[in-house]
Amino acid sequence: MKKLTILIPCYNEEKGIGKVIEAIPKEKLESLGYQPHVLVIDNNSKDKTSDVARHAGAHVIFEKKQGKGHAIRTGIRSIPQDTDIVVMLDGDNSYRPQEMLRLIEPLDNGFSDVAIGTRLGGRIIGGSMPTFNRAGNWFFTFLVRTCYQGNVTDVCTGYFAWKKEVLTQLAKYLESDGFSIEMEMITKMARMNFEIISVPITYKKRAGESHLKPFGDGKKILHAWMRNLFWQPYAKHKGS
């Protein structure tokens, strides 16, 4: 069987993380030849995120430095070596774990190296994404499509699937510590010439309070876009 590692970065997500883990389609994945391994990264939560995640059957690791970028990088370093495909989604229950099957399929058949779950190109349930956030995401996505020629329709998504070797290459260059990590990943993958596909997904209202600061984090996301405009990887990579 192929090994599928599912990364879930979390900060104070005790209200959502159990539902996320329970909704992972483990039986369906196994029937398709995947052995799922759920890895929750507790980003120094102050609630019972770790306890809930362990009770739901996940392996939990701890990252003291707060910030989604720190949590994701720690999660990547903890991926088992025998992993074939990596999926990442948030622990706030705003994404549907059942839809990861659609992200995995184009990787498994060789159509793409990376699949990105697009909310803007999919279905957004009413009340789940404020108008200001949606407008900002459209703007950032336009910038990436125009200046990076990236085949993406949602640059602020938290739902990804990678071939393991692709994520290993990308991880060498990740530096962001907060919510700008998604912009950094997408722009650098575009510069590394990986084949990226956007897959429509559902986005629903999160469980618990959002940790995103629209203005402050928006500035950091824009800075990541600017910083990587002329970025090039140091080592050889796919497409070089």
* All structural domains of the chain: 2-227 (3.90.550.10)
Task: Give me the helix-helix angle, 68-77 and 181-191, nearest 10°.
Answer: 60
Higher-scoring residue by pLDDT: 214, 235: 214
* Alpha-carbon span 116 to 126, nearest angstrom: 22
Q: Where are the alpha helices (DSSP H) in the chain?
A: 17-23, 26-31, 49-55, 68-77, 100-108, 131-147, 164-171, 181-191, 214-227
> Is residue 49 within 8 Å of residue 63, measured between CB atoms?
no
Mean pLDDT for 85-106 is 97
105 and 87 Cβ atoms separated by less than 8 Å: no
pLDDT of residue 234: 76
Contact 123, 68 (CB under 8 A): no
* pLDDT tens per residue across span 35-73: 999 999 999 999 999 999 999 999 999 999 999 999 999
pTM (predicted TM-score): 0.92
Name the residue among 156, 183, 24, 28 with its Cα closest to residue 93. Answer: 24
| pLDDT band (50, 70, 90) for residue 216 | confident
Q: Is 135 exposed, middle or buried (0-12, 13-18, 19+ CB in 10 A)?
A: exposed
Question: In angstroms, rounded to a whole number, what is the distance separating the alpha carbons of residues 47 and 37?
Answer: 24
